Structure formats: structure tokens, C-alpha cells
């Protein structure tokens, strides 16, 4: 099976951490991912660390910076786009993002579609633009239908593909894709994949971001609550099987939320015959 994939990193807080990530990234480079993305903190709070991480990782594998707009200014975002153009970056993951803690104002660009439009205005040919998609509905959406319309607005503004929030129920992904096609939207929808390495963090994060953990999976994970090795083994089996199902049914690629724990992602890729 031919497998296309990409991997997400977050910018480490120290130079030593960036060096460790760069060394681990070299292992992924040998597997020839489509690209590796680097996250961007609320209101640009990790801007400098994101830039340093991108500089450290640039090489044979394309790097795709995340860029979020809420709480940020047009001027700041345009400056960053100019830096990325000068660096030879050709892909941006454009997100609304979260407001920095304590900030109330949404800023000049309150929605991801506004950021997509800004990138297109800045340079319509330099960057391929990916946006976020929520098969299980954005946790702040007024309704599933409104959420779908908001997503289509991002595509109409110029985005060429989407990466989903992670999920463990493939039916949610295929239902989302079918609903988009029924509305005439045919951009690639890349499944976001979250390896399972630690139960409490996964449950807390999933509850916050609206990613459903199926009841059967919660129960099985509870069985291993005091055995981290068993959790990682079981998690690798579950997520590898999910990836196999998605690819066999026609998913265009896989995007791994590595959380900088690269061994878990490598284990899944090995299970898929890719590593």
C-alpha cells in the first residue's frame, strides 16, 4: 500500500529541545513525508520559537508553518508571510486559533477565512493553504450545518485542502466528506491522527477540543490505566487499524499529531509498512 503522510510538531521551549527535535526529525525525513508542520501559539505567542524551529528543520522535507489570526494584527501577519516567502516556504496551515489568556478583542481577522483571504491577497501563487476541519463538529459551533458552512467559506476564500481534528470513529470522517461532496466541495480532506500514549492527557484534551473517544475505547483504556507500556501497545494497535481502514477506503493522506513524541508515530508507520 502506498502511504502518504505528514507530521505535526510543536516548537520546543529551549534551544536544546529544538536540537533534539531536529535530530528526531531526521529520522522522519528518511521516510519522505509530504511535509512537516510546526504549530503557532495563541496570538503569535510562540512566533519566535516557531521561526527558530522551522529554521532548524528546513532541509529535504518541506516545512509548513501554522499561522493563526485571532488576536493578531494584519501588519504582524503580513510581516510573517514575507519572512516565510523569503525562506522559501510553500505551504501554510491557516487557523483561527485561540485567544491569548486574558485577551478579549478578536483582532482584525477574527476568522480563519479572513486569514486565508489575507494570504491570497499577499501572494496567491506562493503558498498552498491548508485549513482545519471538524468531522465531529467544532466544539463552539452553533450547529453541524453552520459548522459545515463555515468550513466551505474557508475553501471559497482560497484554501486548497483541509486537515481534520483527530478522531477514532472513521464513520464521522466519511460522513463529513460525503456532506461536503453533496454541496460541491471536493478538496482533499486529510484525516488527523492522534497516537495514544497517555490516557489522562488524551481524555482531558479530547473533552476540551470536542474529539469523541468512543465508549468502548474509553473502557479498554481504563483497563490499562496503571500500565503505560500496555497503553502504548494497545494504542498503537488501535490507531494503526484506524489508519489502515482510512487508507483502504480512499483517504488521500494521513496527518499525525506527534506531540513531539515521535516514537509513537514511527510505531504506527511501521505497522503500516511505511517505516
* Residue owning grid cell 494504542: 235
Q: Tell whether the model's pLDDT for residue 138 goes beyond 70.
A: yes
pLDDT at 244 exceeding the cut of 70: yes
pLDDT at 71: 83
pLDDT at 275: 64
Burial letters for 60-78: b for 16+ Cβ neighbours within 10 Å, e otherwise? ebbbbbbbbbbbbebeebe
Ordered by start, the domain boundaries in the chain are: 5-271
Distance of CA 15 to the CA centre of its chain: 23
Percent with pLDDT over 90 in the chain? 82
Rounded to a whole number of angstroms, the CA Rg of the chain reads 18
Q: Does domain 5-271 have CATH number 3.20.20.220?
A: yes
Instruction: Out of 8, 19, 161, 263, pick the active-site residue.
Output: 8
- Asked about 8 being catalytic, the answer comes back as yes
Please check whether residue 147 is in contact with residue 141, taking contact to mean a CB–CB distance below 8 angstroms. yes
**In the predicted model, is pLDDT for residue 105 greater than 70?**
no
Per-residue pLDDT tens over the stretch 7-49: 999 999 999 999 999 999 998 899 999 999 999 987 777 889 9
CB atoms within 10 A of CB 1: 8
CB 92 within 8 A of CB 129: yes
The answer to whether 121 and 94 have CB atoms below 8 angstroms apart is no
pLDDT at residue number 99: 67
pLDDT digits 0-9 by tens, 164-210: 999 999 999 999 999 999 999 999 999 999 999 999 899 999 988 88
Cβ(34)–Cβ(7) under 8 Å?
A: no
Q: Which residue has the higher pLDDT, 122 or 97?
A: 122
The rounded distance, in Å, linking the Cα atoms of 199 and 228 is 9
The pTM (predicted TM-score) of the whole model is 0.95
pLDDT for 104: 57
The dihedral built from the CA positions of residue 162, 167, 173 and 176, taken in this order, carries a sign that is negative
Give Cα separations from 46 to 16, 129, 133, 153, 181 (angstroms): 16, 20, 23, 27, 36
Amino acid at each position: 500500500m502506498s502511504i502518504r503522510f505528514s507530521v505535526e510538531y510543536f516548537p520546543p521551549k529551549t534551544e536544546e529541545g529544538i536540537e533534539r527535535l531536529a535530530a528526531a526529525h531526521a529520522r522522519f525525513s528518511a521516510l519522505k513525508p509530504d511535509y512537516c508542520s510546526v504549530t503557532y501559539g495563541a496570538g503569535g505567542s510562540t512566533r519566535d520559537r516557531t521561526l527558530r524551529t522551522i529554521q532548524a528543520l528546513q532541509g529535504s522535507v518541506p516545512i509548513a508553518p501554522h499561522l493563526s489570526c485571532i488576536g493578531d494584527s494584519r501588519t504582524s501577519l503580513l510581516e510573517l508571510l514575507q519572512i516565510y516567502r523569503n525562506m522559501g516556504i510553500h505551504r501554510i496551515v491557516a487557523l483561527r486559533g485561540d485567544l491569548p489568556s486574558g485577551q478579549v478583542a478578536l483582532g482584525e481577522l477574527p476568522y480563519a477565512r479572513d486569514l486565508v483571504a489575507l494570504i491570497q491577497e499577499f501572494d496567491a501563487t506562493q503558498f498552498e493553504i491548508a485549513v482545519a476541519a471538524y468531522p465531529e463538529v467544532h466544539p463552539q459551533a452553533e450547529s453541524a450545518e453552520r459548522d459545515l458552512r463555515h468550513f466551505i467559506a474557508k475553501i471559497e476564500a482560497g484554501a486548497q485542502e483541509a486537515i481534520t481534528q483527530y478522531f477514532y470513529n472513521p464513520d464521522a470522517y466519511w460522513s463529513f466528506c460525503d456532506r461536503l461532496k453533496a454541496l460541491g466541495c471536493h478538496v482533499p480532506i486529510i484525516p488527523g491522527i492522534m497516537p495514544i500514549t497517555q490516557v489522562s492527557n488524551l481524555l482531558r484534551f479530547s473533552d476540551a477540543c470536542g474529539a469523541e473517544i468512543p465508549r468502548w475505547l474509553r473502557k479498554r483504556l481504563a483497563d490499562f490505566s496503571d500500565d503505560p507500556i500496555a497503553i502504548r501497545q494497545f494504542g498503537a494497535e488501535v490507531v494503526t487499524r484506524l489508519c489502515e481502514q482510512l487508507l483502504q477506503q480512499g483517504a488521500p493522506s494521513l496527518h499525525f499529531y506527534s506531540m513531539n513524541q515521535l516514537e509513537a508515530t514511527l510505531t504506527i508507520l511501521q505497522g503500516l509498512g511505511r517505516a
